[in-house]
């Protein structure tokens, strides 16, 4: 399915009418309240479908086939000129893109949106949507994108301090001037987005700050921080804990319980002593601050807004990893402190991708992956999160640097996602889809078993030279590079006894999981494509390609879609 940007139509209308876009924007901002209300309702927003959260853009749910730019790319229109068409050719529909506080507000109160406007214009020209990243008070724990007038005025804009009273290059979340300056700039940005993009919705969602975290100490040791740390835990947090006691994330529940379920007291009295409590304390204050920034932005333009986290290296303690960010074990603290933030998102750079994806689709938090390590697995990871986790979107980091095999694989994977988008969106949140991905890189000894649509699916990930499936199916040519090719995909139960299976390197057999005749046969398997949401059948695969009805196989080294019908016999 191709998403056409209504903005293109709008631009044409504007030109025919002899208006400039700026003139249209003036009209827009001066509109009477009922018109504004209509525009507001048409803004990108989140909605529930069953257990899923969907991002709705221009009245229709939207799957983000994204990629995040490297940190410096969006600071130059010239640099980006060749990048946009490359990303569009890779079948992205959305670019996740830094916007830098220091370039937006080089002098206090003086805003410069020329670069930003150029980026919006060029994204539109290439049919791409944008998710701006607000690189402001914090970027990977540090405050490197704060404007010079902030960085050089430590008295007015204080830093977090270590135990020796030395400042770190981390703006303190305990200071009113800091949060006011950031919130003012973010509000100006969102006001500007409303003015230049209020109707076109090139900007569909916004990330507030980037990988907030405390490192190398587990907390700010300044006098302002100490005072709050030794004071009472805020009543809002206590009330949240009491109200949500049974569904709290296990680490928080355990810490609160171990300290005696207290409903008043200092942070150490309520949660115990140690770096884990330092982290809870910092998380609360980072989240309060971020909530103020988010609220100021939403007051100008109410787009979905989220925060992202650097994840924890196994065995590391708070202070050793960027702690107190929007991590899964801190979800409740972030939620209680930052109700304006719509969801928390992981940046996945560790090999246990499946585990981290699972940990973020909890307690109503939808999965959106703004950053994942760029590499050959991206295509199957994307299919997996859309099938398994009803993900809003997926976005490898440094996308413009994708070349060769990772680029081609991602393009092929995103092509499948694009074809399947209407089907995926229709089935989200209803328990009618599954994602397929090996849990580890170790060779698989037993098939993965998944329940779907009244059947058990036994999934083997093809290692072409070694799997019995491949040996039993010698007629199926597999390209040489398939030995190290990624394997994975998704399955949709589209009707009784019928599945759509998409991906690469999969061998699937079926067992019955509902009353009736005990044995399962393959009635038909057909490969094909979806064009504008409609199935265009290709080859009929009931011989060698299904091992004469024994299994479904999507060979490695290529990305396919098959529609499969099953039947039952005694
Ligand atoms: C995660 C950060 O969010 C990005 O901005 C970038 O610094 C990458 N790490 C680099 O791997």
- How does pLDDT run across 417-431, given as a tens digit for each residue? 999 999 999 999 999
Strands (E), 124-246: 129-139, 159-161, 167-171, 206-210
| Chain position carrying tokens 């400042």 | 167
Closest ligand 1 atom to Cα of 397: 8
3-state secondary structure (DSSP) of residue 62:
strand
210 lines ligand 1 (CB under 6 A): yes
| Chain position carrying tokens 């079926």 | 510
pTM: 0.90
Most ligand 1 atoms within 8 A of CB, residue of 70, 142, 347, 395 to mutate = 347
Chain Cα centroid distance, residue 221:
33
CA nearest to 192, candidates 77, 30, 25: 25
What is the CB-side half-sphere exposure of residue 254 using CA atoms within 13 A? Answer: 6
Written as six digits, the tokens of 379 are: 């295509």
Ligand 1, atom 6: nearest CA belongs to which residue?
A: 71
Task: List, for residues 223-240, the tens digit of each pLDDT value.
Answer: 999 999 999 999 999 999
Spatial contact of 443 and 22, defined as CB atoms under 8 Å apart = no
Alpha carbon distance 362, 384 (integer Å): 17
Alpha carbon distance 338, 370 (integer Å): 19
Alpha carbon distance 427, 454 (integer Å): 16
Phi, psi of 102 (to 5 degrees): -65, -25
Spatial contact of 459 and 506, defined as CB atoms under 8 Å apart = yes
116 lines ligand 1 (CB under 6 A): no
Ligand 1, atom 8: nearest CA belongs to which residue?
A: 397
Beta pairing class for 206-210 and 94-100: unpaired
Tens digits of pLDDT across the chain (570 residues):
233 223 322 232 222 222 233 333 333 333 333 334 445 449 999 999 999 999 999 999 999 999 999 999 999 999 999 999 999 999 999 999 999 999 999 999 999 999 999 999 999 999 999 999 999 999 999 999 999 999 999 999 999 999 999 999 999 999 999 999 999 999 999 999 999 999 999 999 999 999 999 999 999 999 999 999 999 999 999 999 999 999 999 999 999 999 999 999 999 999 999 999 999 999 999 999 999 999 999 999 999 999 999 999 999 999 999 999 999 999 999 999 999 999 999 999 999 999 999 999 999 999 999 999 999 999 999 999 999 999 999 999 999 999 999 999 999 999 999 999 999 999 999 999 999 999 877 778 899 999 999 999 999 999 744 433 333 343 333 333 345 689 999 999 999 999 999 999 999 999 999 999 999 999 999 999 999 999 999 999 999 999 999 999 999 999 999 999 999 999
Between the CA of residue 229 and those of 168, 268, 278, 451, what are the distances in Å? 19, 8, 8, 48
Most ligand 1 atoms within 8 A of CB, residue of 70, 97, 100, 140 to mutate = 140
Spatial contact of 232 and 265, defined as CB atoms under 8 Å apart = yes
On the question of a common fold for 2-231+282-427 and 433-569, the answer reads no
Domain 433-569, architecture per CATH: Sandwich (2.60)
Alpha carbon distance 347, 335 (integer Å): 19
- To which H or E segment does residue 347 belong? strand 343-348
141 lines ligand 1 (CB under 6 A): no
Alpha carbon distance 448, 457 (integer Å): 8
Alpha carbon distance 127, 99 (integer Å): 20
Strand partners, 529: 536
Written as six digits, the tokens of 222 are: 């300044």
Most ligand 1 atoms within 8 A of CB, residue of 66, 72, 100, 210 to mutate = 210
- What is the homologous superfamily of the domain 2-231+282-427 according to CATH? Glycosidases (3.20.20.80)
Strands (E), 51-205: 52-57, 60-62, 64-68, 94-100, 129-139, 159-161, 167-171
Neighbours of 182 (CB within 10 A): 28
Between the CA of residue 289 and those of 140, 142, 189, 449, what are the distances in Å? 16, 15, 18, 45
Beta pairing class for 506-512 and 455-461: antiparallel
- To which H or E segment does residue 316 belong? none
Alpha carbon distance 12, 231 (integer Å): 59
CA of 290 from ligand 1 middle (Å) equals: 19
197 lines ligand 1 (CB under 6 A): no
Alpha carbon distance 90, 414 (integer Å): 8
Alpha carbon distance 116, 74 (integer Å): 9
| Dihedral angle over CA of 335, 219, 373, 452, nearest 10 | -30
Strands (E), 30-86: 45-49, 52-57, 60-62, 64-68
Alpha carbon distance 119, 202 (integer Å): 10
Q: Which sequence spans correspond to the domains of the chain? A: 2-231+282-427, 433-569
């Amino acid at each position: 399915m191709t998403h056409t940007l209504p903005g293109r139509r709008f631009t044409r209308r504007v030109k025919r009418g002899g208006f400039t876009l700026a003139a249209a924007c003036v009209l827009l901002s001066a509109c009477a309240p009922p018109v504004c209300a209509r525009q507001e309702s048409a803004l990108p927003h989140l909605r529930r479908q069953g257990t899923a959260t969907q991002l709705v853009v221009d009245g229709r749910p939207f799957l983000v086939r994204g990629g995040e730019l490297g940190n410096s790319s969006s600071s130059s229109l010239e640099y980006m000129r060749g990048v946009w068409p490359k990303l569009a050719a890779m079948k992205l529909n959305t670019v996740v893109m830094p916007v830098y506080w220091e370039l937006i507000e080089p002098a206090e109160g003086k805003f410069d949106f020329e670069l930003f406007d150029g980026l919006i214009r060029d994204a539109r020209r290439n049919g791409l949507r944008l998710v701006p990243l607000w690189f402001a008070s914090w970027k990977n724990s540090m405050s490197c994108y704060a404007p010079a007038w902030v960085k050089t005025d430590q008295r007015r804009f204080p830093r977090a301090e270590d135990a020796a009273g030395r400042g770190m290059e981390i703006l303190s979340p305990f200071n009113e001037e800091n949060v006011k300056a950031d919130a003012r700039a973010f509000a100006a940005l969102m006001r500007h987005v409303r003015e230049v993009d209020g109707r076109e919705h090139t900007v569909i969602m916004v990330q507030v700050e980037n990988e907030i975290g405390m490192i190398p100490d587990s907390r700010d040791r300044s006098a302002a921080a100490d005072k709050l740390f030794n004071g009472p835990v805020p009543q809002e947090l206590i009330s949240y804990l009491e109200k949500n006691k049974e569904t709290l994330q296990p680490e928080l529940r355990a810490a609160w319980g171990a300290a005696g379920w207290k409903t008043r007291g200092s942070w150490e009295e309520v949660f115990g002593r140690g770096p884990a409590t330092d982290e809870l304390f910092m998380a609360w204050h980072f989240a309060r601050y971020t909530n103020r920034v988010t609220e100021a932005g939403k007051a100008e333009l109410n787009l979905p807004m989220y925060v992202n986290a650097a994840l924890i290296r196994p065995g590391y303690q708070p202070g050793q990893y960027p702690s107190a960010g929007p991590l899964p074990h801190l979800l409740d603290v972030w939620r209680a402190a930052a109700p304006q933030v719509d969801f928390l998102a992981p940046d996945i750079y560790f090999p246990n991708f499946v585990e981290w994806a699972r940990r973020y689709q909890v307690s109503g938090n939808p999965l959106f992956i703004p950053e994942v390590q760029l590499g050959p697995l991206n295509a199957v990871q994307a299919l997996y999160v859309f099938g398994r986790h009803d993900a809003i979107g997926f976005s490898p980091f440094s996308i413009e640097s994708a070349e060769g095999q990772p680029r081609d694989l991602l393009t092929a994977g995103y092509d499948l996602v694009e074809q399947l988008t209407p089907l995926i969106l229709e089935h989200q949140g209803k328990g009618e889809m599954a994602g397929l991905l090996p849990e580890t890189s170790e060779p698989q000894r037993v098939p993965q078993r998944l329940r779907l649509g009244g059947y058990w699916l036994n999934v083997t990930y093809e290692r072409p030279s070694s799997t019995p499936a491949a040996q039993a199916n010698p007629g199926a040519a597999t390209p040489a590079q398939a030995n190290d090719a990624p394997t994975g995909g998704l399955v949709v139960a589209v009707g009784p006894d019928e599945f759509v299976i998409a991906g690469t390197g999969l061998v699937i057999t079926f067992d019955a999981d509902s009353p009736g005749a005990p044995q399962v046969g393959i009635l038909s398997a057909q490969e094909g494509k979806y064009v504008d949401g409609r199935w265009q059948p290709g080859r009929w695969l009931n011989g060698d390609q299904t091992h004469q009805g024994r299994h479904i196989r999507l060979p490695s080294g290529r990305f396919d879609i098959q529609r499969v019908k099953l039947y039952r016999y005694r």
